[in-house]
């Protein structure tokens, strides 16, 4: 750290993104990316017309994207905030609504606490139940900013819309953020609740079900007053938060919904097959609703499995910690990717 770093940031522990090693070609099952490429329409949308316009700033209002999203979601454009990845929407939401303190589960997306620390807000966690589920009653009447990933990560387990509603209804003095990064792969969206409550904000991403992790586009949906607050932060930091090429790409991907629905169906099928294969090998497999599988075997610890798989050219994630250390989290890739993964797992277990 330099001698010039502002003291309010000097003790910040930043988020560590999933590894992206360049030493050889890996089967990458570690960062929940989509194994399928964007649609041809999206590739064409980043065509010469957009490239030749790179001398011009992009549309700061993201109007093309808001238009297709509002039609798809059945909400007004004033209900939508477009962001640079959903991480940006989450970060801005914590800035806007986290002053009274922030609460989230003890096992969830690791970035939430970093957003809180960066904003200088206090945060606390509520333990998941023994089976990794969330007990909604733990979150009632807190009246702080609550963040629930639904489905949750890395468990992959989802809460019902009714359970989310109970949390939103009993926290009228605090905002509830529902992080729906994985909702297209399963679970029930809380979207209908935005017309009923003014304290719910839903965040979503193009990184997973729209094959655009490299494009960095996300969005938040909520009451227009909440959206206006997010815009205050955007126009105070980076008004052109989505670049011209990715704005065109994200807009086209909503138009090409049919293609993405097909990819999602394929991923869900592969996920179920992978779950079954792992169970046959004696793994305990959590009933994930996402594009990743969270599973453990009593034969090999999570970190050891990760290391052995890496030697075999397959990247996955493990999560050090008392309750998560035995587990591995494996992104659902293509069928051939998952066949290679299962073969590698069999070999590792046979060696034991």
- Does residue 297 belong to the site contacting ligand PMP (CB under 6 A)? no
- Does residue 219 belong to the site contacting ligand PMP (CB under 6 A)? no
Please identify which residue in 140, 213, 255, 281 interacts with ligand PMP, judged by CB under 6 A.
213
Q: How many residues bind ligand PMP (CB under 6 A)?
A: 13
- For residue 222, the cross-strand partners are 201
Residue 34 to residue 331: CA distance in whole angstroms: 8
Please identify which residue in 117, 179, 184, 188 interacts with ligand PMP, judged by CB under 6 A.
179
Measured from the CB atom, is 213 or 342 closer to ligand PMP?
A: 213
- Does residue 218 belong to the site contacting ligand PMP (CB under 6 A)? yes
- Does residue 87 belong to the site contacting ligand PMP (CB under 6 A)? yes
343-347 CB contacts, 8 Å cutoff, 24+ apart:
344/308, 344/309, 344/312, 344/314, 345/278, 345/281, 345/305, 345/309, 346/281, 347/312
Of residues 235 through 264, those in contact with ligand PMP by CB under 6 A are: none
Please identify which residue in 35, 38, 58, 85 interacts with ligand PMP, judged by CB under 6 A.
85
Contacts of 99 (CB under 8 A, 6+ apart): 121
In 3D space, the residue among 303, 300, 284, 301 whose CA is nearest the CA of residue 346 turns out to be 300
User: E strand or H helix at 285, and its extent?
Assistant: strand 284-285
| Nearest residue (beta carbon) to ligand PMP | 85
Of residues 129 through 158, those in contact with ligand PMP by CB under 6 A are: 149, 153
User: Minimum Å distance from CB 17 to ligand PMP?
Assistant: 9
User: E strand or H helix at 296, and its extent?
Assistant: strand 292-296
Beta carbons within 10 angstroms of residue 198's beta carbon: 15
Angle of helix 302-311 relative to helix 335-351, nearest 10 degrees, comes to 110
3-state SS assignment for residue 203: strand
- Does residue 30 belong to the site contacting ligand PMP (CB under 6 A)? no
- Does residue 277 belong to the site contacting ligand PMP (CB under 6 A)? no
Q: Which stretch binds ligand PMP (CB under 6 A): 81-89, 192-200, 227-235, 246-254?
A: 81-89
User: Minimum Å distance from CB 7 to ligand PMP?
Assistant: 28
Name the DSSP class of 57.
P
Q: Which stretch binds ligand PMP (CB under 6 A): 22-30, 205-213, 260-268, 330-338?
A: 205-213
Query: Do the Cβ atoms of 155 and 181 come closer than 8 Å?
Result: no
- Does residue 205 belong to the site contacting ligand PMP (CB under 6 A)? yes
User: Minimum Å distance from CB 280 to ligand PMP?
Assistant: 28
Tokens 């019902």 label which residue?
Answer: 160
Q: Write out the residues near ligand PMP by the rule CB under 6 A.
A: 32, 85-87, 109, 149, 153, 179, 181, 205, 207, 213, 218
């Amino acid at each position: 750290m330099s001698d010039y770093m502002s003291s309010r940031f000097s003790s910040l522990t930043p988020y560590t993104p999933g590894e992206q090693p360049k030493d050889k070609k890996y089967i990458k099952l570690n960062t929940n990316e989509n194994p399928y490429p964007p649609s041809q329409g999206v590739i064409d949308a980043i065509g010469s017309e957009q490239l030749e316009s790179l001398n011009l700033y992009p549309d700061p209002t993201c109007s093309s994207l808001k238009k297709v999203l509002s039609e798809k979601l059945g909400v007004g454009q004033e209900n939508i905030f477009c962001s640079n990845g959903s991480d940006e929407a989450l970060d801005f939401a914590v800035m806007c609504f986290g002053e009274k303190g922030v609460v989230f589960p003890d096992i969830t997306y690791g970035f939430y606490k970093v957003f809180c620390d960066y904003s200088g807000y206090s945060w606390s966690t509520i333990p998941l139940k023994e089976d990794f589920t969330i007990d909604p009653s733990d979150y009632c009447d807190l009246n702080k900013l609550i963040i629930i990933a639904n489905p949750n990560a890395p468990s992959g387990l989802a809460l019902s819309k009714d359970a989310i509603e109970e949390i939103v209804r009993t926290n009228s003095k605090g905002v509830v953020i529902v992080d729906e990064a994985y909702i297209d792969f399963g679970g029930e969206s809380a979207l209908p609740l935005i017309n009923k409550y003014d304290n719910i904000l839903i965040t979503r991403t193009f990184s997973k079900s729209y094959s655009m992790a490299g494009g960095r586009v996300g969005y938040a949906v909520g009451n227009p007053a909440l959206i206006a607050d997010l815009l205050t932060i955007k126009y105070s930091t980076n008004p052109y938060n989505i670049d011209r090429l990715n704005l065109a790409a994200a807009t086209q991907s909503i138009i090409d919904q049919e293609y993405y629905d097909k990819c999602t169906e394929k991923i869900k099928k592969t996920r179920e097959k992978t779950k079954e294969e792992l169970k046959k090998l004696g793994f305990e497999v959590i009933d994930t609703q996402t594009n990743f599988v969270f599973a453990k075997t009593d034969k090999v610890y999570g970190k050891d499995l990760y290391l052995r798989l890496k030697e075999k050219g397959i990247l996955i994630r493990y999560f050090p910690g008392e309750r998560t250390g035995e587990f591995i989290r494996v992104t659902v890739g293509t069928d051939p990717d998952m066949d290679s993964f299962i073969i590698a797992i069999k070999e590792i277990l046979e060696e034991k």
